[in-house]
Amino acid sequence: MFLCHICPGRASMDSLDLVSPYLFKHRRRNFLVKDKMRPADLDALHHFETRPTDIFLVTYPKSGTAWMQQILVQIMDAAHLGWAEDATNRTHVPWLEERSVDNPSRERPDPRIFGSHLPPDMLPRGVKANRIKVVYVWRNPKDILVSLYHFSHVWVLLETPQSFEGFFQQFLDGDVYMGSWFDHIQDYHKAQDQLNIHFVQYESMLKDLRGEVVKLCAFLEKDLTDEAVDRVVEASTFKSMKTNPKANYKDLVETGRYKGETMRKGVAGDWKNLFTVAQNEHFDKVLKEKMSNLALTCVWEIKE
């Protein structure tokens, strides 16, 4: 690790504990050097003012965030007449810990939805205190690793990996954006008794999207008709989203924040196209060691 002092022109003069020129470590997590948020700003989010009707969408990166954004926006649009404006999902679900694109504090109609990759101890204190609804989407970590590897090639705020082999080890070591996947999911399971949280498995949505939408509506206490649920499901398929500029982040490609498309395949098992046999065996060993206290049933592949 080495320290970097922010230039005098920045609002914060904190020293950064750099993981790389693109990431700095704070409270065991890795954040973006090129974003405006600094350690003091991240800590201040603990005092972010929440409302009882707020909803927090929490994920580890590349676990189905854009997909769940679309589902939540469609549910709210169906349940609250006039809730959705003619805007992108990113506008409807601003990111709590980023300021380079949007401001989550701006005035919006209730219920507000926030996106976040933060661990539970860094969420606004009102989330726990007021039992605010949290939707946590998780995915098998091998596909996350591969998806994050490809994503790092297109997002200008992240370092382009030199090789898959190197990135593979960085992921296992937690030296990637937002740190360790193993820590992230374990922290949320440990905190589930303190949170009003609904866990959604990415692969379960692939198998039965309608069933997962129905369960999500029940958690959110949104009583939709069967026809409304069908519309939510149809609008939230990968095929539909890939061509929908409100859902596929096309605007961020056009403005240069992304160097290419961010929606690639939307499948389970893509890791098999990159993992070697030795890497797979090593990953399984690390997974068994790090997750010995949490019994997760990962779905590694769904054949089409």
> Which residues, other chains included, contact 77 with Cβ-Cβ below 8 Å and sequence gap of 6+?
83, 84
Give the integer Cα–Cα distance in Å for 220 and 229: 13
Q: What is the DSSP string of 216-283?
A: HHHHHT----HHHHHHHHHHTSHHHHHT-TTTS-HHHHHTTSBSS-S-----S-GGGGT--HHHHHHH
Give the strand pairing for 15-20 and 23-26: antiparallel
> Measuring CA to CA, how many Å separate 164 from each of 97, 114, 182, 261?
28, 32, 19, 19
Give the integer Cα–Cα distance in Å for 167 and 173: 10
In total, the chain counts a number of residues equal to: 304
Q: 3-class SS at 23? A: strand
- Choose the catalytic residue: 117, 150, 184, 189: 117
Amino acid type, 146? V
Structure tokens at 155: 């997002």
End-to-end CA distance of the chain: 44
- Determine contact, residues 54/61, Cβ cutoff 8 Å: no
Q: Is residue 189 annotated as a catalytic residue, yes or no?
A: no
Which positions are annotated as active-site residues?
117
